[in-house]
């Protein structure tokens, strides 16, 4: 039984509510509640609708974020531990290629990428590359001609 079902059932039991009581207080249909309370799967496969989440949170007098945490756990998301998510959008292509080359070399010693590729990538990383076009404009690194600068 997944965490959301356990949580909702536990809150109903604690309050002495039946599904019809929760349906009235939450505005969630009896069918949706029946599906939730009879779901024997170990993991929830779909995120409940916003209306369902908001209705259950209001009826159970819990913050929406608390209920979303329970839903995350029910969906197999590791809520109880820190998860590091990396944003590689600001990492240069050369740095990404270098990291990938190192990881591939560590997984299959002697296989591609050859040490020469790592050397070439290191050399490219040390050489400044002028930015042009849209990427430079996004970073604000385009220089305007002297007569147009403020």
If 0-12 CB within 10 Å is exposed, 13-18 middle and 19+ buried, where does residue 7 land?
buried
* Cα radius of gyration (the chain): 27
- The token duo for 113 is 């990428």
Q: Is the pLDDT of residue 87 over 80?
A: no
Q: Which of 98-107, 113-122, 131-140 has the highest mean pLDDT?
A: 98-107
CA nearest neighbour of 56 among 81, 42, 74, 77: 74
* pLDDT band at 80; cut points 50, 70, 90: low
pLDDT of residue 10: 93
Reply yes or no: is the peptide bond before residue 113 cis, omega within 30 of 0.
Answer: yes
Average pLDDT over residues 4-22: 93
Distance CA 48, CA 54 (A): 10
Position 146 scores a pLDDT of 47
In this predicted structure, the answer to whether residue 93 has a pLDDT above a threshold of 90 is: no
Of the given ranges (63-72, 83-92, 109-118), which has the lowest mean pLDDT? 109-118
């Amino acid at each position: 039984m997944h965490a959301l079902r356990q949580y909702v059932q536990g809150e109903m039991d604690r309050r002495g509510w039946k599904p019809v009581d929760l349906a009235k207080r939450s505005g969630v249909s009896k069918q949706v509640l029946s599906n939730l309370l009879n779901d024997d799967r170990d993991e929830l496969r779909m995120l409940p609708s916003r209306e369902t989440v908001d209705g259950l949170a209001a009826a159970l007098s819990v913050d929406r974020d608390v209920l979303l945490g329970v839903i995350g756990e029910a969906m197999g998301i590791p809520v109880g531990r820190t998860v590091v998510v990396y944003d590689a959008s600001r990492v240069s292509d050369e740095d990404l290629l270098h990291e990938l080359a190192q990881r591939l070399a560590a997984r299959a010693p002697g296989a591609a990428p050859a040490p020469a590729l790592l050397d070439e990538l290191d050399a490219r990383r040390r050489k400044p590359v002028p930015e042009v076009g849209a990427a430079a404009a996004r970073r604000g690194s385009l220089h305007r001609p002297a007569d147009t600068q403020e």
